[in-house]
Amino acid sequence: MHDDRTLVEARLKRVLDERLRPAVYPESVPMDVRVWTAPGEPVPVAEGLAAPTEPIAVGAAWGAPWATSWFTVTGTVPHAWTGRTVEAVLDLGFDENMPGFQCEGLVYLPDGTPVKGLNPRNQWVRVGAPVTGGEQVELRIEAASNPVVLDYKPFVPTLLGDKETAGSEPQYRLARMDLAVFDETVWNLILDLEVAGELMHELPADSGRRAELTRAVDRALDAIDLQDVNATAGAARAELTGVLSAPAVPSAHRISAVGHAHIDSAWLWPLRETVRKVARTASNMTALLADEPEFVFAMSQAQQWAWIKEHRPEVWAKVTKAVAAGRFVPTGGMWVESDTNMPGSEAMARQFVHGKRFFIDEFGVDNEEVWLPDTFGFAAGLPQIIKAAGSKRLLTQKISWSRTNTFPHHTFLWEGIDGTRVFTHFPPVDTYNCSMNGREIAHAARNFKDKGVARHSLAPTGWGDGGGGTTREMVAKAARLRDLEGSATVTWETPAGFFAKAEAEYPDPPVWVGELYLELHRATLTSQAKTKQGNRRSESLLREAELWAATAAVRAGAPYPYEQLDRIWKTVLLHQFHDILPGSSIAWVHREARATYAALADELTGLIDDAQRALAVDGPHELVFNAAPHARDGVPAGGAAPAAPGTPTAVEPREDGGFVLDNGLLRVEVDGRGLIVSAYDQRARRETLPPGQAANLLQLHQDFPNMWDAWDVDEFYRNTVADLTAADEVTDGERPGSVRVTRSFGGSSVTQVISLDGRRVDIATEVDWHETEKFLKLAFPLDVRAERYAAESQYGHAYRATHTNTSWEAAKFEACNHKFVHLEEPGWGVAVVNDSTYGHDVTRTVREDGGTTTTLRVSLLRAPRFPDPETDQGRHTFRHALLPGATIGDAVREGWFLNLPERVLSGAAEVAPLVTVDDDAVVITAVKLADDGSGDVVVRFHESRGGRAAATLTAGFPVTSVTVTDLLERPLAEPERPGRSIPVTLRPFELVTLRLGR
Ligand SMILES: [Zn+2]
């Protein structure tokens, strides 16, 4: 026969759009609408329900950016509808393509009982099925007029991202507020046709199954009377029964659908709005679970659960009931779905401690899977942390966003820096917003890299980013796809249920070693510098606060601030969410983050001060408190004592207006341009810098990526560069032994102070930044030939190549470090340490003299204009240090020193550390009291150099028992016999937590 495929497909599309969808609600009557708009921020539910209202007409404009309007809609079900199914259809002025990115609502009964959320894909509230007629309907809607920040013309700078700049122009027009008859047969016909039509599209043009579907669709369309769709929909459905009941082939791919709503804890909306987004989605999902017996919904991020519990107790009651039934499933085990590149070792651990503990305490659920669908890359230290938290599986789909290389597996073992392996799954559906579209289902099956040996994949199903969740249409399509010829099969499942099947069918999956680098969003290591600094400072201050408070509790009987530390940790962890710490949120979020970090710094400094005063007592001695994990200037790690004087630095002028700094260990020449032209290691008798090249060189690039401005830096940024070599002034600094350099460029200025501290060249940089779409780098060309370099990560470091032999290496043109980057030739190395920057790049050239220049560049500042048009404008301070002759151990130690400056107090006597270790390779990352309030001391440490360590840990107090625990301080073994000296043997990068009983 003739091929009429495209004709039938076009026919299907038009009939669906123009005749079937409008026929779902064949009859309707308008409801009466009244409104009250809250004067400022959202109000409690009771206040919104009780507020005086005024009439508003459908079609009227409403909703200033970020405002809240409380609508009251009332109506009477016509008696003529007796026996029919009736719904309220509530359209706030939605654009159906943007669920979660525009206005939203939560529907309540007049008594405040939450009913369900409203979004573009969920505009209905069931009134009765069947109705008796004459029912009085009254609903209340808490409607948020969140503006559209990201739309069809994406990445255009906008002032809508902060209520302080967004103005008051109404954003929406009330579109429909009706009571309507719901024709379930038409609704089902639409889903039948969508499933058949979408599957048809995905099958090969020459397949018999496709032809069968085409013919069945054609027959179904023939059966519809286009002038009376509602009367003929049943007959049309009958034509599809045969093709929709043909079972899947035995080798069909098997999809575990997990109901989900990826909700960004802040992004194009402020934190306070996420509190409400979560309540809306959770209300929708508890309602859907009640209607759909096979459906399962999973929600991650303990913080979001805690928000429901605290702010929406009525929603919480429904959620906990559904959890008890095993259908609303807590998944993952982190406080938020954080970034995993930048959080420090302890913070990454605490994401799991607080996340898992919440689910254990509230529900008795101890998850083994880590749920991070949207995080921008995964540091190689993570597997060990996952395991130490008592988990063993990871899910993400984000690596499918890589622009250069295609990851070779979807199910595999991921091996971290210490050798820990976690079972990892990348859903081949390549989205966390699966909608059960045939294209997505077919893509998952085709894309799955492990076919032949494995058959299961997971599909997170539901509207996400801004929330919304799974719809009844998705559930209906999943039912049709349960066992359907030509398609992958679909079954609702919990994440744990999926992983159990995936592990069982694939006992020997392939292994991927090292970081899971996302070849995109590399600028998230730099954008919003103050948010990143706030994170790093908070991490350091928390370390200090725990250390000194624990020491004061044991030594001086001071009260330990359990609740304060718990709250502060959770706040810091929240801000590590994958759009806050990465700098990709609207201005409002980052403005609040800066204020929050400042308040935390004050509070933590107060805690530290209280503890140190309790320890020092009043006295005449100048005591230096050393919170670093290594002894410094004669002060033991974790103790306080008078410090030995440092090495003085002589400063001599150079003929060109520069200066020479010399402390007997290093001789550093700063030229008349303020650049470091020599850094001579006097012990090794070796120059650090390549001949004729200068370090401490600020470089300015144009930086206008093709999209995702705050997220992305595209490789072509390197094509143009301005070296900032002109100095306004180079003088010997106000502080003895230092040189001060000032420069101006564009609308900006920089002041740097260069000084020596032992074997460290310290560079303090203050930038007054007023550029647009620029990238500022600080360059250190080094006379070192090395195939690879090390960058610190959680509980260790990971290596990356200095060359670009393959596309995998070339794609890592901007990467993450924690406190140091280190490279070396055998016997001699060099490091750059920092107090708050994360982005860097390393390149290499071979010189005419045959030597190799390896250039390390630190990323200081960017100036993207979306989503925050004023990103990074203003004053910034950074501290970096160049370490000529540094081993990895030196880099580790100096990194800690730079991040944990000494605190000086006058006191009566020295303070001995609570815990000491006799091997500098073993780094203690946390000393604290146990979270259970027992008074036990918890010590966490790891091997920091990538080698083995055999050390003795010594407690400075009587110890009644020593227990190896997991991160949650749960025992992993029987307590060992007491003793102050504890021998420990560690593998490379091995992490250990000990609980010391008192
Ligand atoms: Zn996200």
Q: Per-residue pLDDT tens for 961-992?
A: 999 999 999 999 998 877 789 999 999 999 99
DSSP β-bridge partners for residue 138: 74
pLDDT higher than 90, residue 695: yes
Half-sphere exposure at residue 382, Cβ-oriented, CA atoms within 13 angstroms: 32
pLDDT higher than 90, residue 1: no
Whole-Å CA distances, 223 to 8, 195, 196, 827, 829: 14, 18, 16, 83, 79
DSSP β-bridge partners for residue 461: 259, 434
Contact 236, 216 (CB under 8 A): no
Query: Tokens 């003085």 correspond to what residue?
Result: 648
Contact 250, 78 (CB under 8 A): no
* Residues with Cβ within 8 Å of residue 369, at least 6 apart in sequence: 331, 332, 333, 391, 393, 394, 395, 495, 496, 499
Q: Ligand 1 centre and the CA of 570: distance in Å? A: 19
b/e code 122-156 from CB counts within 10 Å (16+ = b): bbbbebbeebebebebebbbbbbbbbbbbeeeebe
Q: Ligand 1 centre and the CA of 400: distance in Å? A: 14
Contact 516, 422 (CB under 8 A): no
Average pLDDT over residues 579-591: 98
User: CA-CA distance, 795 to 991, in Å (whole number)?
Assistant: 7
User: CA-CA distance, 875 to 769, in Å (whole number)?
Assistant: 6
Band of residue 591 on the pLDDT scale cut at 50, 70, 90: very high
Coil, strand, or helix at residue 141?
strand
Nearest to 821 by CA among 806, 852, 843: 843
Bridge-based pairing of strands 760-769 and 748-757 is antiparallel
DSSP β-bridge partners for residue 172: 62
Q: Ligand 1 centre and the CA of 585: distance in Å? A: 11
Q: Note the pLDDT of residue 200.
A: 97
Average pLDDT over residues 375-400: 98
Q: Per-residue pLDDT tens for 482-508?
A: 999 999 999 999 999 999 999 999 999
Bond from prior residue into 867 cis (ω within 30 degrees of 0): yes
Q: Ligand 1 centre and the CA of 712: distance in Å? A: 15
Number of helices (H), then strands (E), in the chain: 18, 52
Average pLDDT over residues 627-656: 96
Percentage of residues of the chain with pLDDT beyond 70: 100
Q: Ligand 1 centre and the CA of 597: distance in Å? A: 22
Q: Note the pLDDT of residue 779.
A: 98
User: CA-CA distance, 481 to 485, in Å (whole number)?
Assistant: 9
Write the DSSP string, 646-711: ----EEEE-TTS-EEEE-SSEEEEE-TTS-EEEEEETTTTEE-SPTT--BSEEEEEE---SS-TTT
b/e code 7-16 from CB counts within 10 Å (16+ = b): ebeeebeebb
Average pLDDT over residues 718-724: 98
920 is catalytic: no
Q: Ligand 1 centre and the CA of 579: distance in Å? A: 7
User: CA-CA distance, 969 to 986, in Å (whole number)?
Assistant: 19
CA quadruple 598, 602, 605, 607: dihedral, nearest 10: -130
Q: Per-residue pLDDT tens for 117-171?
A: 999 999 999 999 999 999 999 999 999 999 999 999 999 999 999 999 999 999 9
Q: Note the pLDDT of residue 325.
A: 97
Q: Ligand 1 centre and the CA of 369: distance in Å? A: 18
Band of residue 10 on the pLDDT scale cut at 50, 70, 90: very high
Q: Ligand 1 centre and the CA of 274: distance in Å? A: 12
Percentage of residues of the chain with pLDDT beyond 90: 98
Q: Ligand 1 centre and the CA of 464: distance in Å? A: 8
Contact 776, 822 (CB under 8 A): no
Coil, strand, or helix at residue 480?
helix
Q: Ligand 1 centre and the CA of 485: distance in Å? A: 34
Contact 840, 812 (CB under 8 A): no
Contact 506, 454 (CB under 8 A): yes
Dihedral pair phi/psi, residue 592, rounded to 5°: -65, -35
Bond from prior residue into 620 cis (ω within 30 degrees of 0): no
3-state secondary structure labels for all residues of 847-876: CCCCCEEEEEEEEEEECCCCCCCCCCCEEE
Dihedral pair phi/psi, residue 106, rounded to 5°: -120, 125
Q: Note the pLDDT of residue 979.
A: 79
Q: Ligand 1 centre and the CA of 301: distance in Å? A: 11
Whole-Å CA distances, 2 to 8, 197, 210, 211: 12, 19, 15, 12
Q: Per-residue pLDDT tens for 743-783?
A: 999 999 999 999 999 999 999 999 999 999 999 999 999 99
Q: Ligand 1 centre and the CA of 563: distance in Å? A: 29
Q: Per-residue pLDDT tens for 313-361?
A: 999 999 999 999 999 999 999 999 999 999 999 999 999 999 999 999 9
pLDDT higher than 90, residue 733: no
Q: Ligand 1 centre and the CA of 336: distance in Å? A: 11
* Residues with Cβ within 8 Å of residue 409, at least 6 apart in sequence: 426, 449, 450, 509, 510, 512
pLDDT higher than 80, residue 519: yes
> Alpha helix locations (H) across 438-561?
438-447, 472-480, 495-505, 529-556
Contact 470, 260 (CB under 8 A): yes
Q: Ligand 1 centre and the CA of 105: distance in Å? A: 21
Q: Ligand 1 centre and the CA of 578: distance in Å? A: 6
pLDDT higher than 90, residue 950: yes
- For the chain, how far is it from start to end, CA to CA, in angstroms? 87
Can you state the percent helix, strand and coil of the chain, rounding each to 5? Answer: 30, 30, 40
Q: Ligand 1 centre and the CA of 442: distance in Å? A: 24
User: CA-CA distance, 396 to 340, in Å (whole number)?
Assistant: 12
Is the model's pTM score more than 0.75?
Answer: yes
Q: Ligand 1 centre and the CA of 491: distance in Å? A: 25
Q: Ligand 1 centre and the CA of 170: distance in Å? A: 28
Q: Ligand 1 centre and the CA of 684: distance in Å? A: 49
Q: How many CB atoms lie within 10 A of CB 267?
A: 25
Q: Ligand 1 centre and the CA of 264: distance in Å? A: 5
Sort residue 681 into left (φ over 0), alpha (ψ -120 to 50) or beta: beta
User: CA-CA distance, 550 to 558, in Å (whole number)?
Assistant: 9
Q: Which of 178, 183, 374, 757 is catalytic?
A: 374
Contact 494, 258 (CB under 8 A): yes
User: CA-CA distance, 730 to 331, in Å (whole number)?
Assistant: 57
Q: Per-residue pLDDT tens for 48-67?
A: 999 999 999 999 999 999 99
592: which 2 tokens? Answer: 């609040």
Q: Note the pLDDT of residue 646.
A: 87
Coil, strand, or helix at residue 590?
helix
User: CA-CA distance, 994 to 966, in Å (whole number)?
Assistant: 8
pLDDT higher than 80, residue 928: yes
Q: Ligand 1 centre and the CA of 263: distance in Å? A: 7
Band of residue 734 on the pLDDT scale cut at 50, 70, 90: confident
Band of residue 585 on the pLDDT scale cut at 50, 70, 90: very high
Q: Per-residue pLDDT tens for 217-253?
A: 999 999 999 999 999 999 999 999 999 999 999 999 9
Average pLDDT over residues 75-88: 98
Q: Per-residue pLDDT tens for 275-312?
A: 999 999 999 999 999 999 999 999 999 999 999 999 99
Nearest to 612 by CA among 632, 631, 626: 626
User: CA-CA distance, 883 to 443, in Å (whole number)?
Assistant: 50
Contact 398, 376 (CB under 8 A): yes
Average pLDDT over residues 895-913: 96
Q: Ligand 1 centre and the CA of 863: distance in Å? A: 22
pLDDT higher than 90, residue 660: yes
How many angstroms from the chain centroid is the CA of residue 848? Answer: 45
Nearest to 696 by CA among 803, 778, 807, 635: 778
Query: Tokens 């550093």 correspond to what residue?
Result: 668
Q: Ligand 1 centre and the CA of 6: distance in Å? A: 38
Nearest-5° Cα angle at 560, 554 to 561: 160
Whole-Å CA distances, 271 to 264, 565, 592, 963: 9, 21, 9, 39
Q: Note the pLDDT of residue 145.
A: 98
Nearest to 388 by CA among 967, 987, 923: 967
Q: Ligand 1 centre and the CA of 980: distance in Å? A: 47
Q: Ligand 1 centre and the CA of 5: distance in Å? A: 39
Contact 887, 614 (CB under 8 A): no
Coil, strand, or helix at residue 110?
coil
Q: Note the pLDDT of residue 344.
A: 98
Write the DSSP string, 749-804: EEEEEEEEETTEEEEEEEEEE--SSEEEEEEEEE----SEEEEEETTEEEEEESS-
Mean pLDDT taken over the chain: 97
What H or E segment, with its residue span, contains residue 744? strand 738-745
User: CA-CA distance, 527 to 677, in Å (whole number)?
Assistant: 30
